[in-house]
Amino acid sequence: MRIVVTGGAGFIGANFVHTLLNDHPEVDVNVLDSFTYAANESSLTDITPEQAKRLTITRGDVADMEIVDEVVRDADAVVHFAAESHNDNSITGPAPFIQTNLIGTFTLLEAVRKYGTRFHHVSTDEVYGDLELDDPAKFTPTTPYNPSSPYSASKAGSDMLVRAWMRTYGIPATISNCSNNYGPYQHIEKFIPRMITNRLVGIRPRLYGEGANVRDWIHVLDHNEAVWEILQRGTIGDTYLIGADGEASNKEVVHMLNEIMGHPQDDYDHVADRAGHDLRYAIDATKLHEELGWYPSFTSFREGLEETVRWYTEHEDWWKGEKERVEAKYAQKGH
């Protein structure tokens, strides 16, 4: 089986490639990635010579019809992770989000339509907007779309394109909307790796606003396991929500990280809040449990965080070169 993994040099995509190479010897992988700032070549180097024979890396833009046509022509399936993925960046500069997330997805859809290729679209829970802190309801596959940021609006738009191509052209596709991921290979602009690497270089963690915002954390390997199950056994045309009942406020996460890293719980700074900051996300993954029997294997968020802290501590060479640049960018925004 030949699978194209778009965005396979980014956080979730690279973890997915490792899972395919480690656990699915019948699969050959073609990573289609344009290697933006968010990609890291060394995320894909820790593989055996045998695995290297099953991995092709195609440097190219998902919005480039010619390259996309070339890689999709030879594929049995496309798993589409590539995106501009960081909310803060979408607020300061939305243009690449529209280009990659909308035009890129459109370009892939046209290629899979031409070749009848199985397509899985990786999306986010942010398309549903946010919830009140005390709202008993969680996001389900029928929750109305209500995105808040340029990033989430562009992802919502990409989901709509996939839905339209499924209905109008009958492309064999599925969609998943997942909550916040954490784990190895995540870019240090994102909350958890930023807080961990801040501690490692001697900067206090930075909480936006009061830190009351809640995210529903899931380990990246659990997300990817669910994507694999949907790709294999999901109902064509359906949307699946992926989450692991991992709700925690940002303040709680920083408290935990401080404890794990040997600092007093309240050793952090409050900084300016994010514009339009979503308050809370929460996923109801019942459909995935009932239809596909998927459940997360990382059931303790604290243990997952401990493992993630260990990974960043042991892989300084993976992130150190980026730290100064990322922090300089945050400093400009008052973060």
Whole-angstrom Cα distance, residue 109 to residue 228? Answer: 20
Stretch that binds ligand DAU, among 99-107, 119-127, 228-236, 286-294 (CB under 6 A): 119-127
Grouping H, G, I as helix, E, B as strand and the rest as coil, residue 48 is coil
Q: Which residues are catalytic?
A: 125-126, 151
- Taking phi over 0 as left and psi of -120 to 50 as alpha, with beta for the rest, 334 belongs to left
Applying CB under 6 A, does 63 fall inside the site for ligand NAD? yes
State the binding partner of 229 from ligand NAD, ligand DAU, none, CB within 5 to 8 A by kind.
Answer: none
Given the complex with ligand DAU, which of 54 and 217 has the nearer CB atom?
217
Instruction: Show the beta-strand stretches assigned E in the chain.
Output: 2-6, 28-33, 55-59, 77-80, 118-124, 173-178, 181-182, 206-208, 214-216, 218-219, 239-242, 247-249, 269-271
**CA-CA distances (angstroms) from residue 221 to 15, 27, 119, 224, 271?**
7, 18, 20, 5, 31
Site mask, ligand NAD, residues 167-186, x = CB under 6 A?
Answer: -----------x-xx-----
Applying CB under 6 A, does 241 fall inside the site for ligand DAU? no
Q: Which of 3, 4, 5, 12 binds ligand NAD (CB under 6 A)?
A: 12
Residue sitting closest to ligand NAD (CB): 10
Site mask, ligand NAD, residues 14-33, x = CB under 6 A?
Answer: -------------------x
Whole-angstrom Cα distance, residue 141 to residue 325? Answer: 38
Applying CB under 6 A, does 7 fall inside the site for ligand NAD? yes
Q: Which of 61, 159, 278, 327 binds ligand NAD (CB under 6 A)?
A: 61
Grouping H, G, I as helix, E, B as strand and the rest as coil, residue 7 is coil
Stretch that binds ligand NAD, among 7-15, 202-210, 263-271, 319-327 (CB under 6 A): 7-15
Applying CB under 6 A, does 90 fall inside the site for ligand DAU? no
Whole-angstrom Cα distance, residue 273 to residue 289? Answer: 36
Torsion angle of alpha carbons 58, 59, 63, 64, nearest 10°? Answer: -80
Site for ligand DAU in 287-326 (CB under 6 A): none
Using a 10 angstrom Cβ sphere, with 0-12 exposed, 13-18 middle and 19 or more buried, the burial of residue 307 is: middle
State the binding partner of 281 from ligand NAD, ligand DAU, none, CB within 5 to 8 A by kind.
Answer: ligand DAU
Strands 269-271 and 206-208: parallel
Given the complex with ligand DAU, which of 21 and 122 has the nearer CB atom?
122
Q: Which of 6, 34, 124, 158 binds ligand DAU (CB under 6 A)?
A: 124
Grouping H, G, I as helix, E, B as strand and the rest as coil, residue 36 is coil
Give the interface with ligand DAU as residue ranges (CB under 6 A).
85-87, 124-126, 179-180, 190-191, 194, 206-208, 213, 215, 250, 274, 281, 335
